[in-house]
Amino acid sequence: MEDTVFMKIVKREIPADIVYEDAQTLAFLDIKPIALGHTLVIPKKPFENIFDIDDETLSAIMRTVRKISPAVRDAVGAHGVHINSNHGEAAGQVVHHLHFHIIPRHARNEFEFWPETDCPTPTSASEIAEKIREKIV
Ligand code: AMP
């Protein structure tokens, strides 16, 4: 299978503005930032998303997210960060290599959060909760 663009960054085959690296993870600036300082954190191994990653590697990624989030915030004088991650094309995942976005935020009015639409609820919450409990392995 051909390497994703993020594996090419891990292998230093293409350039990136790398801000942090350890044995399991890499963090670099997003090439099309939503806000100045928008950073991505990835595993060095090519896991696709939350559906195939192992617990230990995910923990390593979250350690890196926690470690660098204050630096990302402070480097641009922001007051908060969004930590976002898309899993699967239906959820907007474009690069098929797991990644967390760290997006600095300065003020609540600079972004659109969840759309203010009502979720259609043909099934009751208790039925959905029961289905989720049944699917947990
Ligand atoms: P997603 O929609 O969650 O898969 O987001 C993929 C992200 O990867 C987008 O925000 C892109 O701007 C970013 N991206 C794609 N190629 C590169 C690259 N070569 N270097 C840095 N970021 C990239």
At residue 82, the 3 state secondary structure works out as: strand
Which letter does DSSP use for residue 136 in this model? -
**pTM of the complete model:** 0.94
Q: What is the pLDDT of residues 49-59, one digit of tens each?
A: 999 999 999 99
Structure tokens at 99: 């990644």
Question: Residue 95: CB within 6 Å of ligand 1?
Answer: yes
Q: Tell me how far apart the alpha carbons of residues 96 and 87 are, in angstroms, rounded to a whole number.
A: 9
- Which of 38, 87, 97, 99 is catalytic? The answer is 99
What backbone phi and psi angles, to 5 degrees, belong to 114? Answer: -60, 140
Q: How close is the Cα of 118 to the center of ligand 1, in Å?
A: 30
Sign of CA dihedral 26, 32, 34, 35: positive
Residue nearest to atom 12 of ligand 1 (CA): 32
**Does the CA dihedral 118-35-67-99 come out positive or negative?**
positive
Domains located in the chain, CATH noted: 5-135 (3.30.428.10)
pLDDT of the chain, 137 residues: tens digit per residue: 799 999 999 999 999 999 999 999 999 999 999 999 999 999 999 999 999 999 999 999 999 999 999 999 999 999 999 999 999 999 999 999 999 999 999 998 887 777 777 777 778 889 999 999 999 99
